[in-house]
């Protein structure tokens, strides 16, 4: 019997064409871990207004970022999986997606059938939030195979040090007025209901900043991006913060995205295109977005080490 590791990311449309994007958005936005509004109210709004209006527009964004090998999120996640497998040659390391393919439960069952006695499930989201993790947990538990789920890794020293090193390297290439830690936002209602995401984002910024002596602490700012819908989400919103910085005379910024492990629509299109255009139109000068960790060798080694430690701990508990 061997050990198994299942890496899980969000997912992506099968293609950048409108029908596939609509199918993906319907699955994603029908998840009540993401949208908590009662189905009887939300589904008519989703099917009648949001999907018809949003699908074609999102499809244009996906087409702009699509790689020859496919969706950037899928491509980079697959490359990362390959690197982690190389770091764990005696393990069975696979990739699944919360929405779309490969399916979480089916992949877990296949791994178990192929001889994985116990599987570690590792969501590729450093900070825990219901909107990303709960669906992963629900789907994984539905597979009914022995497993351990790692719910976050933002507080791991090696991860913090790796992120600090990459940010410091990027920061030293130019002169910046601000370094913005931009996290994916979530509805404030989730935080009020006990979701730890806000605290974990703040802790991530503080811990990484403490490991970057070359970056002045007064230049480090936390913001949130990718708001969806009319309800209040975590602030300050990145777009508003960018315009505010220009008004304050801070026209050279470096954006880092610690809640995103692999580059995706939010980093490649929303940040590098939409937020870039907002910043430049407001009078900003230098706007740089640091690439995500993607298939970084050291990040793959960190994930391998993390999974090994959790597997060893699970074995001790079982014995």
Would you call 226 helix, strand, or coil by DSSP? coil
Cα gap 269→316, rounded to integer Å: 45
Threshold 0.75, pTM exceeds? yes
**What pLDDT does 32 receive?**
86
Report which of 184, 171, 281 is spatially closest to residue 215, judged by C-alpha positions. 171
Q: Do the Cβ atoms of 254 and 213 come closer than 8 Å?
A: no
Q: Do the Cβ atoms of 72 and 286 come closer than 8 Å?
A: no
Q: Kindly report, residue by residue over 36-91, the tens digit of the pLDDT.
A: 888 888 899 889 999 998 999 999 999 999 999 999 999 999 999 999 999 999 99
pLDDT confidence bin for 229, thresholds 50/70/90 = confident
Average pLDDT over residues 106-121: 96
Would you call 148 helix, strand, or coil by DSSP? strand
**pLDDT over threshold 90, residue 313:** no
**Tally of CB atoms within 10 A around 225:** 25
**What pLDDT does 87 receive?**
98
**What pLDDT does 36 receive?**
82
Report which of 163, 178, 149, 188 is spatially closest to residue 254, judged by C-alpha positions. 178
Q: Do the Cβ atoms of 110 and 22 come closer than 8 Å?
A: no
**What pLDDT does 239 receive?**
97
**Binding positions for Fe(2+):** 184, 266
**What pLDDT does 35 receive?**
82
Q: Mean pLDDT, the chain, as a whole number? A: 95
Six-digit token pair at 27?
């699955």
**What pLDDT does 99 receive?**
97
- CA dihedral sign of residues 145, 148, 153, 157: negative
**What pLDDT does 40 receive?**
87
**What pLDDT does 319 receive?**
59
Q: Kindly report, residue by residue over 11-41, the tens digit of the pLDDT.
A: 999 999 999 999 999 999 998 888 888 888 8
Helical residues (DSSP H) of 216-296, grouped into ranges? 238-247, 265, 276-281
Would you call 119 helix, strand, or coil by DSSP? strand
Query: What region, left, alpha or beta, does residue 194 occupy, with left being phi > 0 and alpha being psi -120 to 50 degrees?
Result: left
Q: Kindly report, residue by residue over 255-281, the tens digit of the pLDDT.
A: 999 999 999 999 999 999 999 999 999
| Domains of the chain with CATH codes | 2-152+296-318 (3.40.50.1400), 157-289 (3.40.50.1400)
**pLDDT over threshold 90, residue 180:** yes
pLDDT confidence bin for 234, thresholds 50/70/90 = very high
**Binding positions:** 184, 266
Query: What region, left, alpha or beta, does residue 222 occupy, with left being phi > 0 and alpha being psi -120 to 50 degrees?
Result: beta
Give the pairing of strands 220-225 and 92-99: unpaired
């Amino acid at each position: 019997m061997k050990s198994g590791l299942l890496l899980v990311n969000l997912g992506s449309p099968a293609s950048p064409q409108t029908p596939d994007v609509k199918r993906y958005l319907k699955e994603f936005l029908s998840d009540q871990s993401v949208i908590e509004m009662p189905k009887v109210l939300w589904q008519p709004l989703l099917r009648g207004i949001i999907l018809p209006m949003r699908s074609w527009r999102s499809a244009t964004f996906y087409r702009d970022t699509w790689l020859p090998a496919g969706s950037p999120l899928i491509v980079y996640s697959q490359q990362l999986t390959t690197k982690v497998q190389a770091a764990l040659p005696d393990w069975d390391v696979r990739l699944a997606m919360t929405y779309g393919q490969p399916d979480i439960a089916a992949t877990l069952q296949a791994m178990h059938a192929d001889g994985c006695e116990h599987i570690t499930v590792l969501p590729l989201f450093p900070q825990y939030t219901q909107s990303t993790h709960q669906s992963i947990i629900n789907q994984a538990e539905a597979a009914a195979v022995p497993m351990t789920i790692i719910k976050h890794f933002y507080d791991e020293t090696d991860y913090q040090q790796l992120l600090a090193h990459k940010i410091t390297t990027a920061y030293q290439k130019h002169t910046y007025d601000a370094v913005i830690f931009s996290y994916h936002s979530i509805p404030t209602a989730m935080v009020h209901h006990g979701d730890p995401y806000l605290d974990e984002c703040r802790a991530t910024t503080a811990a990484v900043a403490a490991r970057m002596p070359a970056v002045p602490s007064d230049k480090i700012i936390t913001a949130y991006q990718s708001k969806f819908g009319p309800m209040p989400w975590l602030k300050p919103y990145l777009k508003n913060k960018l315009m505010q910085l220009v008004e304050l005379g801070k026209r050279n910024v470096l954006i880092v995205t610690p809640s995103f492990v692999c580059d995706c629509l939010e980093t490649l299109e929303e940040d590098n295109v939409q937020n870039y255009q907002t910043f430049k139109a407001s009078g900003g000068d230098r706007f740089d977005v640091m690439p995500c960790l993607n298939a970084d060798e050291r990040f793959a080694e960190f994930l391998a080490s993390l999974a090994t430690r959790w597997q060893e701990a699970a074995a001790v508990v079982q014995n």
